[in-house]
Amino acid sequence: MPAVVWLVVLFVVPLVIMLSLSLKTCNPASGACTMTWNWGELPRQVNLYRTEFFTSLEYGAAATIVDLILSFPIAYWIAFYGGRKKNFFLMMLLVPFFVSFVIRTLVWEFILSPSGFFLTFLRHAHLVSANFHVLGTGSAVIAGLAYNYLPFTALPLYVALERIDRRVLEAAYDLYASRREAFMRVILPLSVPGIFAAFLLTFIPAFGDYVNQQILGGTSSTMIGTVIQNTFLVTGDYAAGSALSVVVLVISLIGIWLYSRVLGSRSIEEYL
């Protein structure tokens, strides 16, 4: 099957090569890498950039939680009360995707810039202080991540809520459950797989993201994605970059493994 060959050659093999690169030593001049079984590189890099790993975990998690809180009510509303306009509302959730990822992140830079018209307006209206600045801080990065990945959270939640069998809900009401009880004991438990999928599909890309950090963040908010990008594309140190990527991959694989242990690897496709 050509598809399998394609995936093996261009997905599995590169990951193996990345593993082996992380044990090599690369010549900074020619870029040629030779195997030196340099086991020390991985712990050395992790130690050097542990702050960035933690920053990424923190921002990824914060953005995911913001997204879950933001999108659960709207997903619930569309699933239960969307009626005939469901598709229209779903499309509204997807509106950001009609603008290129890099452009919409850039636009956030314009919105959050102290000299942009939005903050200028807020300053004139005395809604923020004259010294208020958010561009270049961690909050700006989290805001950008939350905006960019919101549909990744909202859609799986919607699918999960939509699939809840209304007869179960009816049965709860027949048994004199209050709305609150019905929500807490029927809807919420039944949407747990969706919350799981939403978490996985939002957290992993947000964790590995660097575009938001590069455009919206400052020096105190460097994420590991930025470091990986720089080691590969700026300093051209493939061994160090590979070592860092291996760690990111392992962290992601733990999440993926947990998910498939609990819900099965195929269940993800229902939420795409």
Partner 1 sequence: MSVVSDAATVGGRPHEPVAPATKRPHHWGRIALPAYSWLVIAYLVFPIVVMFVYSFNKSVGGVPQVSFSWNGFTTLWYRTWNDAPGLTSAFWLSIRLALIATAISTVLGTLLAMALVRYRPRQFHGKGVIEQILFVNIAAPEIVMGASLLGLFVTFNIGRGFITLVLAHVMFCIAYVAVTVRARLTGFDRSLEEASYDLGAGPFTTFRRVTLPMIMPGVLAGALMAFALSIDDFVTSNFVSGTSSPFPVLIYASTRVGIPPQVFVFGSVIFAVGIALALSSLAIGRKRI
Partner 2 sequence: MMSDNTRNDATSGGIDPALWRGLTQPRLSRRQALGVAGGGLAAGLLFDAAAASGASLPNANVGSPSWWKKQKLHHTVNFANWPLYIDTLKGKYPTLDHFTKTTKIKVNYFQVIDDNTSFYAKIRPSLAAGQYTGYDIVVMTNNNPPLGYLIELGWLIPLDHSMMPNFSKYAGPLVKSPAWDRGNKYTMAWQSGWTSVAYNSKQVKNPGDSVQLLFNKKYAGRIGMLSDPFELGSVGLLALGIEPASSTEKEWAKAAKLLQKQKSDGLVAAYYDQSYIQHLKNGDVWISQAYSGDIYQANLSAKYKDLVLMIPKEGLMMWTDNMCIPLYAQNPKDAMTLMDYYYSPVTQSVVEYYNDYICPVPGAKQQLLRPTSWNKQALASLKPEIGLPYTATANSPLVFPSGREQKLTKTYYQFKNQAEIDAWTSLFLPIIQGA
Contact 146, 70 (CB under 8 A): yes
Q: Which of residues 8-47 bind partner 2 (CB under 8 A)?
A: 25, 27-32, 34-36, 38
Residue 58 interacting entry, from partner 1, partner 2, none, C-beta within 5 to 8 Å by type: none
Q: Which of 231, 234, 260, 257 is nearest to 18 (CA)?
A: 231
What span, in angstroms and rounded, lies between the C-alpha atoms of 242 and 251?
Answer: 14
* CB burial readout 9-20, b (16+ within 10 A) else e: eeeeeeeeebee
CB of 48 vs partner 2, minimal distance in Å: 6
Q: Which of residues 31-90 bind partner 1 (CB under 8 A)?
A: 31, 33, 70-71, 73-74, 76-78, 80-81, 86-90
Q: Using the rule CB under 8 A, is 115 a contact of partner 1?
A: yes
Q: Does the footprint of partner 1 cover residue 175 (CB under 8 A)?
A: no
Tokens 């010294």 belong to residue:
131
Judged by CB under 8 A, the chain residues 54 through 83 that form the site for partner 2 are: none
Partners of 33 in the beta sheet? 26
- Selection from partner 1, partner 2, none that 12 binds (CB < 5 to 8 A by kind) is partner 1
* Chain CA centroid to CA 13, Å: 25
Q: According to CB under 8 A, which one of 46, 162, 230, 252 is a site residue for partner 2? A: 230
Q: Length of the chain, please?
A: 272
Our CB check for partner 2 shows the closer of 53 and 271 to be 53
Q: Is residue 222 close enough to count as binding partner 2 by CB under 8 A? A: yes
Per CB under 8 A, 208 contacts partner 1: yes
- 3-class state of residue 35 by DSSP: strand
Q: Binders of partner 2: how many residues, by CB under 8 A? A: 34
Residue with the two structure tokens 């493939």: 238
210/225 Cα distance (integer angstroms):
5
135 lies in the binding site for partner 2 (CB under 8 A): yes
Footprint on this chain of partner 2 (rule: CB under 8 A): 25, 27-32, 34-36, 38, 48-49, 51-52, 113-115, 133, 135-136, 218-220, 222, 226-227, 230-236
